[in-house]
Structure formats: structure tokens, C-alpha cells
Amino acid sequence: MPRAVAVNVAANTNEPGFRGPVYPDGSFAYVPIPESSATLPRDRFPVDEPLPTYADLDLPFSLPASLRDRPAHMDPEFPGVHGRDRATYGDPYAIKAAPIADLEPGDWLLFYATLSLRPVDWPGPGADRGGDDAVGDVASAAPDDDLAPDWGAYLFAGIRVDRVLGGSGSDGPSRAAAAEAVPTNAHLKRDPFDARVVVAGDPADSGLFDRVVPLSTPEAGADANDLVTDLSSDSGKGPWWRRPMRFDASATATLSDRIRRA
């Protein structure tokens, strides 16, 4: 039976300064973080493609002009999302690399993000009607009753693991090995290559969910719900929404059912 690991990714109040939106019906937008490291010249990328910018993202809201030309760290990537055609993920941090490296083919690498509740017509960060952190007017469509009132942590995507390279030690996979497994992954565009672990996923079974699966309670984003406290390896105390979570086979079965019913 498959197991799962869930890790925090995507835009936040530090990078690039706003959280992605979750809408009143539980739909959402996946916004990657900015690319914060030096990158190789394009002719040294494993595949011939440009370094993506925020202007290249397929988003349902507008971005500030100052952000549009900024490179985006397109990781994780999912088929059919923001122009990508593979399911890959790379991570340079030991605290996340260790549990990810334990995954086997058929297991799940899940992704969650902190998202802010926004109205369906939210114009984007920095707009006149509230600024980066404002909830906005959601009265026109009452939010679903499992969503947190301001911001919350939500599962939004998954990769069905096909191959994992690397581990928790100081040395990850070689650039050459990673390029063979995940040639389009954002870490292969960095100079130096820094991923301790890379994951190649089954493109047919990987991607964004139709609707978020809350990890926060409906009362407050900072309060973990039973998926965290009862099913995962995390206690749900402190800043739990920043930590990786392991789910054993039994917990993964329950979690998968919750995802299907979302």
C-alpha cells in the first residue's frame, strides 16, 4: 500500500510577498516562489527552454509590473500547468529531502501551501481594494464551511512517485543523473545544482487537485485539523504549516479518500 509525504511549497508572504488565492468554492491558483539562486546560461540547461518568469504563468489575476519579469522557480511542475509537461520536484533542504528520499515507486509526494481566502474576482496582489494580505469581499459567494476565514494550509497537488534520486546526506544526486531523470526541473537550471533529492512522477497520475483539501481548521489557519494531528507524523503544534509530514500506508488510504471526496 502506498505511503505519502506532504511538503510546503508555493508563494508565501516572504516570497514573493503574497500567498496564492483560495476561492470560496475551494478552487485555487498555484503560484510558484521566485527563483532566488544564480542560474546557468540557457545553452547549458538540460533542455532548450527559457527560464520562466512570472509573466509566463497562467494565472486568473494580475501581477504587479515589478514582478512580471522576475524569474519563477517552477518547482514542483505538473503536466499542463504553467506550460509544463512533466511531473517533477527537487529540494535542497535536508529536513524535506530525508522523508522524500524514503518514498518508493507508487508512493505519493503531496504538496500543500498557505493560501489566502479571496473573492472570485480578486484582481491580484497590491490592488487598491485592500493590498497584499486583505481577504477582500467574499460576501457574494459564501465560502465553503471547511475553509479557514483568512488564510489556511491546504493540500493542492500530488505527484505519484515513479523514481527518486538522492537522500538526506550532504551529497545529493549528480547533475548528470538528475538531468536524466528530471531534465526540466528548476534545480537543474541553478548554478551550482543544489538538490539533495529529485522526484520524477507519473504524468498520468500527477497534477493539481480540482479542489483544496484543508489541513487547517475552519476556525483558524494556524490550527491544524485531524489530517495533521491524527494521521500525520506532525504534532500540529507551533508552525506546523512549514514542516514536512509523513503518512503511513493506513493514513495515506484515509487521506486519499479525503482527497477524492474534496
Q: Smallest Cα–Cα separation from 29: which of 99, 108, 102, 124? A: 124
Report residue 30 as a C-alpha cell: 498555484
Q: Is the peptide bond between 92 and the residue preceding it cis, with omega within 30 degrees of 0?
A: no
Q: Assess whether pLDDT exceeds 90 at residue 250.
A: yes
**Interval 101-116: pLDDT, tens:** 999 999 999 999 999 9
Residue 151 confidence (pLDDT): 98
Rounded CA gap, 200 and 38, in Å?
A: 23
What are the grid coordinates assigned to 224, written together? 491544524
The one-letter code for the residue type at 34 is P
User: pTM to 2 decimals?
Assistant: 0.94
Q: Looking at the predicted structure, is the pLDDT value of residue 127 above 70?
A: no
Burial 191-204 (b: 16+ CB within 10 A, else e): eebebbbbbbbebe
How does residue 140 score in pLDDT terms, banded at 50, 70 and 90?
low
pLDDT in tens, 209-234: 999 999 999 999 999 999 999 999 99
Element at 94 (helix H, strand E) = helix 94-101
Contacts of 136 by beta carbon, 8 Å cutoff, 6+ apart: 117, 118, 119, 122, 129, 130
* CB-based contacts of 192, cutoff 8 Å, min separation 6: none
Instruction: Please classify residue 210 by burial: count the beta carbons closer than 10 Å to its beta carbon, then call 0-12 exposed, 13-18 middle and 19+ buried.
Output: exposed
Residues 68-99: tens digit of each pLDDT: 999 999 999 999 999 999 999 999 999 999 99
CB 124 within 8 A of CB 62: yes
pLDDT digits (tens, 9 = 90+) for 183-204: 999 999 999 999 999 999 999 9
What is the distance between the terminal CA atoms of the chain, rounded to a whole angstrom? 21
What is the spatial distance between Cα 38 and Cα 83, in angstroms, rounded to a whole number? Answer: 22
Average per-residue pLDDT for the chain: 93
DSSP conformation class of 179:
H
Say if CB 181 and CB 252 are below 8 A apart: no
How far is it, in rounded angstroms, from Cα 194 to Cα 173? 9
